[in-house]
């Protein structure tokens, strides 16, 4: 028994020894492997050390900004703050008085103090975010921090901000507040350029997390997004936005469209729609469509300008030729003139254009041009194809050309549907001596770090549909639409400027059944105008869809309330002087203005007064840094010369009796934004004379004739009320007579 027991003990001992030796061998083998291969369980040993003894932080990059043509940011990344309340007693300074803290916060952020107190009184959480206290501005944070409230801290969160709110919102689009996703507009279509790439810094640390002196470190630099510069003019866009908002509030139309363009280059200076939205409050958007680019509709009679151009270019237009207005029979269909088919008797084709006669343009299309030739010009003017403007979701047109009557209806603006931006492109051919320019809104894309321009848009010729001579003749006739007593465009006249233009009234398909909408105001009223008429520098298109107008009002009233201030102030901002001043300049060259930059204001003023001119000094200290008119300009006796000094605070003068042009000159130098209402000379100003103003302030001026001692040639009301001068005035009278055609 002892021998057996001894053997068992021996075998157990040997087993334990074998296991121990195998363990030692395994450890030794692993040690040798680590020494040779530097790997531990397939992980790099150096990587393990790095993870334990290194620290890494992200370097935040910024999303690129979107800028107007002058470099002002209209979409940018800014710092915002989220408020956090720390409630746990282990924190050095937790919230100790929830009621007092809630009351003070609510007074700044307009929150419910009772609900806030309840949230701050919770004892089951370490910290809480404050509802309604996200994306706070620097000013809001500073105001709350100044209260020195226990337990209230702030987390910095970058956010996308649109400083001008509704400004060009359908062009810009928007991103999520945290910029995690670009949703629409240029923010989405140019996201690859605007997007940023965060960097990272990595360094070695000690046991307390402190950076080791002389330790290794690496930096992956952050890459900010590119800046995008647009062709939009801040002042013109602002005027357009204000005019649209005013008309929207007064007439509550279904929608409105406004576009301002430079016909020499195709640059879009302003573009907006109603309904619009504030990109900072994108949750409340009701209209995502940029109607100026992404919607098509029958243009109405604005297209007659292009039919006229085609007939002149083909040599088949005789403006003195007589025709019988009223109605025109095309097989089973009858085309009436817009005054219930009554017409104006036997009139010339020139008068037919002024009165916007449908019969005149049906005859031009079918008897003078022929349908094939008309549609060739529709192609040449770009109405078949999208313009290719650098904005997303451009709509295509729908040109009806199946039957002979389609040529007639297309010629006067019905049956075919085109986009507003197509009309702007086509209008540049008339305004630019026959050269049609492709519209664009993107000026350049550049690196904000280096200033290197990675993309620059150059003006692009889109075609030559007509000759320079034809363009000049069309402009002459378009001017008579505004100036002649028979013209439908009289409400669009602007004192001091020659306007060439064409009115339009488009019917709308009945959304609830067959046929078209009828009744007073149930149309799309529009106007396409250019100025100065002899050599246009600005093209403005305005369309107002179904405004709520009084029975005594025509559709031209709301349209003109957008067109006139936008055109007038666009011309003033672009330093285009009124016609009477240009004529005086030609007849009397006047004085050649000296360069006063660098001079003392008092010395310069004395020189100006001695030349029988009126000096206006902006600022009361320093030296002159800028002037209007520019050095070398020819100026007539009595005119104002504006001198800007190198101070930042200015005293507002009494503008009473000044022209709008002079007020804009003063404001442009001082950096103020001006909105003018009316025509003539200043009668009221929103900021009192003598008040100190700084750059960026808003100034409203009212213009009239009471202080200047002059009377306008004709009041707007008189122009609007002239019998049968507006093509839309009598639509309600013709509903029954025209149904046999328009229901076709």
236-251 pLDDT, tens digit each: 999 999 999 999 999 9
Closest CA to 542 of 489, 496, 495: 489
DSSP 8-state class, residue 190: T
Looking at 538-639, which runs of residues are DSSP E strands? Answer: 538-545, 591-592, 614-618, 624-628, 634-635
Mean pLDDT across the chain: 84
The SS3 call for residue 592 is strand
Q: Which sign, positive or negative, has the C-alpha torsion 356, 361, 363, 367?
A: positive
Strand partners, 158: 79
pLDDT band at 479 (very low <50, low <70, confident <90, very high): very high
The total of other beta-carbon atoms located within 10 Å of residue 730's CB is 16
pLDDT of 704 over the 50 cut: yes
> What is the CATH architecture assignment of 289-542+555-578+726-742?
3-Layer(aba) Sandwich (3.40)
The SS3 call for residue 358 is helix
Q: 165 versus 730: which is more confidently predicted?
A: 165
Average pLDDT over residues 684-694: 86
Q: Which sign, positive or negative, has the C-alpha torsion 40, 42, 43, 44?
A: positive
Q: What does the block give as tokens for 412?
A: 């006067």
Residues 423, 416 contacting (CB under 8 angstroms) = no
Torsion angle (degrees, nearest 10) of CA 200, 204, 206, 207:
60
301 in catalytic set: yes
Q: What is the pLDDT of residue 579?
A: 62
pLDDT of 643 over the 90 cut: no
* Pairing status of strand 698-704 against strand 681-685: antiparallel
The SS3 call for residue 305 is helix
314 vs 253: CA distance, rounded Å: 40
Q: What is the pLDDT of residue 713?
A: 33
| 680-to-501, 532, 591, 628, 702 alpha-carbon distances in Å | 22, 18, 25, 21, 9
pLDDT band at 739 (very low <50, low <70, confident <90, very high): very low
pLDDT of 334 over the 50 cut: yes
Residues 651, 624 contacting (CB under 8 angstroms) = no
Q: Which CATH class is domain 59-229?
A: alpha beta
Q: Which of 301, 416, 556, 560 is catalytic?
A: 301
**Residue 377 burial (C-beta neighbours within 10 Å; 0-12, 13-18, 19+):** buried
Residues 630, 602 contacting (CB under 8 angstroms) = no
**289-542+555-578+726-742 has the same fold as 59-229:** no
pLDDT of 154 over the 60 cut: yes
Average pLDDT over residues 311-334: 96
Task: Name residues whose C-beta falls within 8 Å of residue 366's C-beta, 6 or more positions apart in sequence.
Answer: 330, 404, 407, 408
611 vs 605: CA distance, rounded Å: 10
DSSP 8-state class, residue 451: -
Closest CA to 114 of 94, 130, 124, 99: 99
Q: Which CATH class is domain 589-635+639-718?
A: alpha beta
pLDDT of 565 over the 60 cut: yes
Q: What is the pLDDT of residue 213?
A: 60
Average pLDDT over residues 262-271: 98
pLDDT band at 619 (very low <50, low <70, confident <90, very high): confident
234 vs 662: CA distance, rounded Å: 19
483 vs 714: CA distance, rounded Å: 11
Residues 159, 77 contacting (CB under 8 angstroms) = yes
What does the pLDDT look like over 458-477, one tens digit per residue?
999 999 999 999 999 999 99
| 241-to-191, 245, 275 alpha-carbon distances in Å | 26, 6, 11
Average pLDDT over residues 184-198: 92
**Residue 488 burial (C-beta neighbours within 10 Å; 0-12, 13-18, 19+):** buried
Closest CA to 75 of 66, 84, 87, 64: 66
Average pLDDT over residues 115-143: 82
349 vs 361: CA distance, rounded Å: 9
pTM: 0.72
125 vs 88: CA distance, rounded Å: 7
201 vs 203: CA distance, rounded Å: 7
Domain boundaries along the sequence of the chain: 2-57, 59-229, 289-542+555-578+726-742, 589-635+639-718
Which residue is it, tokens 């001082």? 670
Q: Which helix (H) or strand (E) holds 251?
A: helix 234-251
Q: 184 versus 52: which is more confidently predicted?
A: 184
Average pLDDT over residues 266-290: 94
Average pLDDT over residues 59-69: 89
């Amino acid at each position: 028994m002892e021998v057996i027991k001894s053997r068992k003990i021996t075998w157990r001992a040997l087993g334990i020894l074998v296991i121990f030796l195998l363990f030692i061998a395994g450890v030794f083998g692993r040690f040798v492997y680590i020494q040779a291969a530097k790997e531990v369980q397939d992980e790099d040993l150096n990587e393990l050390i790095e993870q334990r003894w290194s620290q890494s932080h992200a370097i935040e990059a910024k999303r690129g900004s979107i800028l107007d043509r002058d470099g002002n940011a209209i979409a940018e990344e800014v710092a915002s703050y989220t408020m956090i309340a720390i409630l746990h007693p282990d924190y050095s300074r937790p919230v100790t008085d929830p009621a007092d803290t809630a009351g003070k916060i609510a007074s700044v952020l307009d929150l419910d103090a009772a609900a806030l107190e309840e949230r701050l009184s919770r004892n089951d959480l370490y910290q809480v975010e404050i509802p309604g206290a996200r994306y706070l501005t620097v000013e809001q944070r500073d105001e709350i921090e100044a209260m020195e409230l226990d337990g209230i801290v702030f987390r910095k969160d970058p956010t996308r901000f649109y400083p001008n709110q509704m400004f060009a919102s359908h062009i810009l689009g928007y991103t999520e507040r945290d910029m995690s996703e670009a949703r629409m507009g240029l923010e989405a279509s140019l996201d690859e350029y605007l997007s940023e790439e965060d960097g990272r810094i990595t360094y070695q640390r000690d046991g307390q997390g402190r950076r080791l002196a002389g330790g290794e470190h690496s930096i992956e630099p952050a890459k900010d997004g590119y800046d995008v510069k647009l062709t939009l003019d801040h002042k013109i866009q602002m005027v357009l936005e204000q005019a649209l908002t005013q008309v929207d509030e007064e007439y509550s139309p279904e929608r409105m469209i406004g576009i301002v363009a430079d016909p020499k280059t195709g640059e879009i200076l302003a573009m907006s729609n109603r309904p619009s939205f504030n990109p900072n409050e994108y949750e409340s958007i009701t209209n995502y469509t940029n109607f100026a680019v992404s919607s098509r509709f029958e243009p109405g009679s604005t297209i007659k300008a292009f039919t006229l151009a085609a007939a002149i270019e083909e040599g088949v237009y005789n403006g003195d030729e007589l025709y019988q207005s009223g109605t025109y029979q095309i097989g089973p269909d009858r085309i009436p003139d817009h005054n219930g088919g009554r017409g104006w008797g036997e009139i010339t084709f020139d008068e037919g254009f002024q009165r916007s006669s449908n019969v005149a343009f049906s005859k031009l299309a079918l008897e003078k041009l022929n349908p094939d030739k008309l549609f060739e010009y529709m192609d040449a003017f770009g109405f078949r194809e999208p313009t290719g403007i650098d904005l997303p979701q451009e709509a295509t047109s729908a040109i009806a050309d199946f039957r002979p009557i389609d040529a007639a209806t297309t010629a006067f603006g019905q049956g075919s549907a085109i986009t507003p931006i197509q009309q702007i492109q086509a209008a540049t051919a008339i305004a630019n001596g026959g050269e049609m320019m492709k519209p664009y809104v993107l000026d350049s894309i550049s690196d904000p770090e280096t200033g290197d321009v990675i993309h620059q848009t150059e003006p692009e010729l889109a075609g030559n549909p007509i000759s320079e001579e034809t363009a000049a003749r069309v402009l002459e006739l378009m001017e008579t639409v505004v100036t002649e007593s028979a013209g439908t465009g009289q409400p669009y006249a602007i004192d001091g400027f020659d306007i060439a233009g064409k009115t339009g009234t488009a019917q709308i398909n009945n959304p609830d059944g067959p046929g078209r909408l009828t009744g007073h105001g149930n149309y799309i009223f529009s106007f396409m105008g250019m100025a100065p008429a002899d050599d246009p520098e600005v093209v403005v298109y305005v369309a107002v869809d179904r405004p709520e107008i009084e029975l005594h009002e025509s559709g031209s009233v709301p349209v003109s309330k957008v067109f006139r201030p936008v055109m007038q102030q666009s011309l003033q901002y672009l330093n285009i002087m009124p016609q009477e001043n240009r004529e005086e300049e030609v007849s009397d060259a006047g004085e050649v203005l000296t360069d006063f930059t660098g001079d003392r204001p008092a010395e310069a003023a004395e020189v100006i007064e001695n030349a029988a001119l009126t000096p206006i000094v902006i600022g009361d200290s320093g030296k002159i840094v800028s002037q209007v008119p520019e050095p070398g300009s020819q100026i007539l006796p009595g005119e104002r010369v504006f001198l800007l000094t190198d101070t930042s605070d200015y005293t507002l003068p009494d503008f009473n009796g000044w022209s709008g042009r002079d007020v804009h000159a003063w404001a442009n130098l001082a950096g103020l934004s001006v909105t003018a209402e009316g025509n003539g000379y200043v009668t009221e100003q929103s900021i009192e004379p003598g008040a100190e103003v700084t750059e960026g302030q808003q100034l409203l001026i009212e213009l009239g004739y009471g202080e200047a001692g002059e009377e306008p040639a004709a009041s707007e009301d008189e122009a609007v009320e002239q019998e049968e001068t507006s093509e839309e005035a009598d639509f309600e009278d013709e509903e029954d007579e025209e149904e046999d055609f328009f229901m076709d």
